[in-house]
């Protein structure tokens, strides 16, 4: 369980620090691969994929989802994969909440094609969910080998 909180801390600090750097230093788009990939500052008032609700409802939904994930993480079996996955999700979620509390928006800065611009916290959450799914599929397929 200790690794859960270590990963949570690392995901939070990395996410918050990179958002700070983007807001502080990213004045104009920086191309990495032409127009396909780059760093581009975007202040997102919405939640996933730019979807927006009334601010209070939105914050309540975000906090409720994060509390549910923490509850599941603490009550579940603790494999290293699960601890890492839940730590990434919780740390990324906390970083986005922290970012939103300062000015009402989340700082996004990774631009890939026409996909919505995202940040390190979003990447942590996505990778965490993918790791949980990988663990589920691996357990289900173990009996079939």
Evaluate whether 109 touches 117 at the Cβ level (below 8 Å).
yes
Residue 109, SS3 per DSSP: strand
Is 19 a member of any domain?
yes
Is 108 among the catalytic positions? yes
Please pick, among 83, 99, 103, 108, the residue that the annotation labels catalytic. 108
Is 89 a member of any domain?
yes
Is 13 a member of any domain?
yes
Question: Which residue's structure tokens are 């922290």?
Answer: 98
Is 76 a member of any domain?
yes
Tokens of 36: 């396909």
Q: DSSP for 11-70? A: HHHHHHHHHHHHHHH--S-EEEETTTEEEEEEEE-SSGGG----HHHHHHHHHHHHHHHH
| Count: domains in the chain | 1
Is 122 among the catalytic positions? yes
Sheet containing 106-112: give its strands across.
30-33, 37-44, 106-112
Range of the domain at 77: 2-137
Is 61 a member of any domain?
yes
Is 53 a member of any domain?
yes
Is 142 a member of any domain?
no
Question: Which residue's structure tokens are 């969910």?
Answer: 129
Is 115 a member of any domain?
yes
CA-CA-CA-CA dihedral for 130, 105, 37, 92, to nearest 10: -30
Q: DSSP 3-state helix, strand, coil percentages of the chain (rounded to 5)?
A: 65, 15, 20
Q: Tens place of pLDDT for every residue, the chain, 145 residues?
A: 789 999 999 999 999 999 999 999 999 999 999 999 999 999 998 887 667 788 788 889 889 999 999 999 989 877 899 999 999 999 999 999 999 998 889 999 999 999 999 999 999 999 999 999 999 898 888 765 4
Please pick, among 83, 99, 103, 122, the residue that the annotation labels catalytic. 122
Q: Does the predicted TM-score (pTM) go above 0.85?
A: yes
């Amino acid at each position: 369980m200790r690794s859960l909180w270590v990963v949570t801390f690392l995901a939070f600090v990395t996410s918050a620090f990179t958002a700070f750097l983007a807001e502080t230093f990213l004045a104009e788009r920086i191309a990495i691969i032409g127009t396909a990939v780059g760093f581009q500052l975007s202040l997102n008032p919405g939640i996933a994929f730019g979807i927006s609700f009334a601010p209070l409802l939105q914050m309540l939904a975000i906090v409720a989802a994060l509390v549910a994930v923490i509850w599941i993480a603490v009550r579940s079996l603790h494999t290293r994969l699960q601890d890492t996955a839940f730590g990434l999700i919780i740390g990324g979620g906390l970083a986005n909440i922290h970012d939103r509390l300062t000015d009402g928006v989340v700082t996004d800065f990774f631009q890939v094609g026409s996909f919505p611009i995202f940040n390190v916290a979003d990447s942590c959450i996505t990778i965490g969910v993918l790791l949980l799914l990988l663990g589920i599929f691996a357990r289900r397929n173990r009996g079939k080998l």
